[in-house]
Amino acid sequence: MLKKSPASATGLPTVKVSRRGASRLKDGHVWVYRSDLVSADGVPPGALVNVADERGKFLGTALYSSSSQIAIRMISPAAVGDLPGLLRERIQTAIAYRERVVRDTDAYRVVFSEADFLPGLIVDRYHDILSLQVLTQAMDAETVRQTVVSELSERLKPAAIAERVDPRIRELEQLPARSSGLIQGEKSSTVFSMNGVRFHYEALEGQKTGAFLDQRENYAAVAQYARGEALDVFCYQGGFALHLAQHCSSVTGVDSSRPALEVAEKNAALNGREIEWVEANAFDLLRDYADAGRQYDCIVLDPPAFAKSKRNLETALPAYKELNLRALKMLRSGGILVTCSCSYHVAHSMLLEVLAQACRDVHRNLRILESRSQAKDHPMLLTVPETAYLKCFISIISY
Ligand code: SAH
């Protein structure tokens, strides 16, 4: 039997957590909030630390943040003597997992932070370009960056690796400002494909790391039911719209971002599709279209996260309801409604309730065809509920 090496042998600083913090970790979560720390005196920002309960019992090894409300992110239940070695192993495991679950694409999330036991690191692959995001002090350390980049290069052999920087996150983590850019190679644009649809990718432009890869399996699922006239609301660069165009007689995509629509238009051309792109505020457009009596056979609603925190639920839920209500009014009999929410705080049951309320208000009803979530390359870790954030209901108007 393998014996755990004693934590004291690693020489790491120790952070003590309260009873509540310890019980959270025993339940399998990987975060401890600052309010549940008992002592972290003199622990440097971003340090690898041993975690102990109030009585000093070793609970595992974590990455420490001196500024975030999430002070501790566990990286292993065991003692860690060789962080670079552990990071390399974790990256290999993450790649092997994708080899098992990802199909029909050369674009997918390679590393999803906590869900891959690499808290604070996100890596997406777009054909031959990798896009990396660093979200914590620990992952920003130069030695960590070097290890991550060299392991990714060796295993995936990308033409380039780009880093996408979110200035707000660096500020929250009290990290010096840094700009987005290529950290390896020279290629910053490419074409990737998913489910037979092709997309342009610019590593240094666009939202998130480029595309909304978490919807990949939902695009394919929705395409199965789509027909007739379709409306893709909050279309961004055309993810749903281009999939709908495989089966629909006409497709309109709506977004408030002109740069997103410009890429959407290029994507349509790349796939030889004619799609109408409308730059508008979705709320105004849905109201105007519904008032004008427009009708569709398929409507997709994929808004940005309205509830970034629990406090926002009060305004977020009515917003979701309004969108769904207007879409319901415009669907023909037998039409398909696709309702998404990427807010973790909007639980599956809350979104269903909003949908039910909207149905009652317009005297219509729906049959849920599929109750879906995020693509499998964005794994949902059972004991870390925050890793499961995307909801996608595909329904059919029953009257
Ligand atoms: N469905 C897209 C992802 C949507 S992300 C895909 O699969 O790729 C949310 C989009 O909503 C962003 O493109 C953003 O520009 C747009 N957006 C945000 N607020 C909006 C509003 N009020 N009206 C229209 N679009 C909006």
* pTM (two decimals): 0.95
Task: Kindly state the average pLDDT of the residues 369-380.
Answer: 98
Does position 261 have pLDDT exceeding 60, yes or no? Answer: yes
- Classified as helix, coil or strand, 308 is coil
- Burial of 319-354, coded b for 16+ CB within 10 Å and e otherwise, reads ebbbbbbbbbbbbeeebbbbbbbbbbbbeeebbbeb
pLDDT at residue 312 in the model = 92
Task: Kindly state the average pLDDT of the residues 62-79.
Answer: 97
pLDDT at residue 205 in the model = 76
Which tokens belong to 192? 């990737």
CA of 303 to the centre of ligand 1 (A): 5
Catalytic annotation present for 342 = yes
pLDDT at residue 8 in the model = 66
10 band by pLDDT with thresholds 50, 70 and 90? confident
Q: Which of 340, 342, 359, 392 is catalytic?
A: 342
Q: Which residues fall within 8 angstroms of residue 331, CB to CB, at 6 or more apart?
A: 295, 296, 297, 299, 337, 364, 397
Residues with CB under 6 A from ligand 1: 212, 215, 234-237, 239-240, 255-257, 260, 281-283, 302-304
Which tokens belong to 394? 């595909």
Does position 4 have pLDDT exceeding 60, yes or no? Answer: no
Kind plus residue range of the DSSP H or E element containing 181:
strand 181-184
Among residues of the chain, what percentage have pLDDT more than 90? Answer: 94
Residues 185 and 296: beta-carbon distance below 8 Å: no
Average pLDDT over the chain, rounded to an integer: 95
Calculate the alpha carbon distances from 52 to 3, 37, 81, 216 in Å.
Answer: 19, 10, 16, 41
